[in-house]
Structure 1
């Protein structure tokens, strides 16, 4: 077990659609604010929240935001390797409550039983489910789970209230969010004319991590030409065109590899006929 200092993440540091921020407020911050009154009225003080979405959309960043803005809560981050000691971590959470328990990439442990290939993995899953069931309604514990692969999660976890009470999507950034991200990451840059609008349009469909990388490439291009921080549409074109080619190449290779796996599986099936 290690003790870490969590990063300070303010509301202004979180770039998400207003509707998503409102859900975070309702299901987490307002819940904690009114938890004592809810318990007095016979409601549970524990809550399971699943954050799901494409890779790179900022689920870990949201976890840091939640932890930083609930300073009276202790935060326990449980990795897949630590799942075999599940009982100890839940016992610690009870001692430290109010507490936040974080299980990142929950699909690594809580994948569908149909996809589990080892007894060890199923043991981890069963221990997680049993410990979540064992939390009393008086426990002041938030359980945050994140996943990039919602469809692969075990239904007994993802679809059962009392384990996961709320599933919140952390979506790919829309036009407004991508513009805010570009301005945030590229605060030192001076976009001329339609350069900013072009960057927003060209990053459509990209994650927050993708936008961050594109801004870094724009900054690097500025530094390489002598430090001028003025960004033109030509700069945007020179940065985004190669990146778009990279993405297309990766997608082609992924499709080819997937087709090869399917064909290999067909051959194996025929071989057993």
Structure 2
């Protein structure tokens, strides 16, 4: 017991009640000099402790392990029975050394683990994707380009070696908001059988100088330790915005750290597949898009007719519907993003719910609910289209937005 308490005191030297308890046991065991040191520590912190003062008096006046030769006669009275020769009247003393030897190795207290820091939750969670490209409705052209530029070389290492195809660099998904870029990134992770690490601005940005750069470094270290892993940088225009457009030195150094990690300086990015998404690729720092970094871009457009129908069926799967013509709805929602279609289904469900509350009779969701919702909802990508049209017309000298310009011409 004394050894265990001594270990606890060493682990928690500022626990004064625990130190006093140990000193008391030492005094009871006749080990006064050891107890004095512990009581002196307590008195240094709390000079007025009555319990410590009393224990110090006991420790200073405690008998040594072996009885003194000139002990008073009164102290020797208990030994008279032993000298009388009657074993039944002899006093018994507890042999602490024998008891400790019977216990074997001392066991430390359960609340002491020897560590200097308390364990905390993991800073960043790596998740399993759980979806595949087959779960993505429509977007056949996007899937084809994903397979050609990213997935096929990964699935065929022999052909990759034959043709000298490098796996360096990452893939940048761009397009209007709400069109499934994050879902596509998860599907890529599912196709690769890799872990998925979603990174947003809140995971990187910090108010203290230098902490944002450390966060970027830690995120890449987590991805490397979880390889194979898809590291998905969401809203890249916020994390890696053009350094020429920001006056915040902290953001500029954060972009510098991101560039260093993408290059794999000091670390090997083998098994880490970097994907990024943005609605405004023209606001991303050009250094992030040079060869070897996010050098491949893929335009993710609003869903086509077949994709819109598939998305509508997905959002209506768990709802009580009756005679819903999803094909007609898909034709009536040209220009809607995936998020707009989800909002349409939500609004139609709300119309049926409020009608059921007013009438007191529960009914199914019908086409009339969708017609009411369609009369109120408009596509949300209009402002993005205006900005994208200006970029395609006046800021496309390098030709990097030719696919966007081609699609915009079709929209006219």
Q: Give the TM-score of the pair, scaled to structure 2.
A: 0.53
Q: Give the corresponding residue for 1:109.
A: 239
Q: CA RMSD in A?
A: 3.0
Q: Distance in 1 between matches of 2:316 and 2:326?
A: 10
C-alpha distance in 2, partners of 1:197/1:95?
Answer: 46
- The structure that is strand-richer by fraction is 1
TM-score normalised by structure 1 residue count: 0.77
Aligned partners of 1:229 and 1:205: how far apart in 2? 27
Give SS of 2:375's match: helix
Gaps of 5+ in 2: 1-122, 205-211, 387-412
The alpha-carbon deviation at position 230 of structure 1 amounts to: 5.4
Which residue number corresponds to residue 126 of structure 1? Answer: 256
Equivalent residue pairs, number = 246
Unaligned runs of 5+ in 1: 255-273
1:84 aligns with 2:84: no
Cα distance change of structure 1 residues 5 and 143 upon mapping to structure 2, 3 Å threshold: closer
The aligned counterpart of 1:228 is 363
2:394 is the alignment partner of 1:241: no
Q: Distance in 1 between matches of 2:200 and 2:311?
A: 29
Q: Which residue of 1 aligns with 2:142?
A: 20
Provide the secondary structure at the position in 1 that maps to 2:377.
Answer: helix
Per the alignment, residue 9 of structure 2 pairs with none
Change (3 A) 1:94 1:21: same
Question: Partners in 1 of 2:223 and 2:304 — Cα distance?
Answer: 37
* 1:47 and 2:146 aligned: no
Q: Following TM superposition, by how much is the alpha carbon of 1:99 offset from its aligned partner in structure 2, in angstroms?
A: 2.6
Does the aligned pair in 1 maintain the 2:175–2:301 contact within 8 Å?
yes
**Are the structure 2 counterparts of residues 51 and 243 from structure 1 closer, same or farther at C-alpha, using a change threshold of 3 Å?**
same
- Between the two structures, name the one with larger relative contact order (CA 8 Å, sep ≥ 6): 1
Pairs within 5 Å for 1:171-250: 171-187=301-317, 188=319, 189-191=321-323, 195-223=325-353, 224-225=355-356, 226-229=361-364, 231-232=366-367, 234-244=368-378
Per mean C-alpha deviation after superposition, the further-off stretch among 60-69 and 123-132 is 60-69
Residue range with higher mean Cα deviation, 163-172 or 2-11: 2-11
Secondary structure of the residue aligned to 1:61 is helix
Contact 2:173 2:297 in 1 (8 A): yes
Counterparts of 1:133 and 1:16, CA distance in 2: 34
The answer to whether the 8 A contact 2:128-2:195 is kept is no
Give the deviation of 1:100 after TM superposition.
1.9
SS of 1:69's equivalent in the other structure is helix
Q: Is the 8 A contact 1:54 1:172 kept in 2?
A: yes
Partner of 1:65: 187
1:144 aligned counterpart, secondary structure: strand
Q: After the TM superposition, which of the residue ranges 44-53 and 120-129 deviates more from structure 2?
A: 44-53
Displacement of 1:91: 3.5
Q: How much does 1:138 deviate?
A: 7.7
Say which one has the larger Rg.
Answer: 2
2:192 aligned counterpart, secondary structure = coil
Change (3 A) 1:215 1:78: closer
Q: Distance in 2 between matches of 1:75 and 1:7?
A: 6
SS at match of 1:243: coil
Supply the distance in 2 between the matched residues of 1:27 and 1:179 (Cα, whole angstroms). 27
Give the Å deviation of 1:174.
Answer: 1.5
User: 1:36 and 1:164, CA in 2 relative to 1: closer, same or farther beyond 3 A?
Assistant: farther
The CA distance in 1 between the partners of 2:331 and 2:301, in whole Å, is 17
Change in 2 beyond 3 A, CA 1:46/1:227? farther
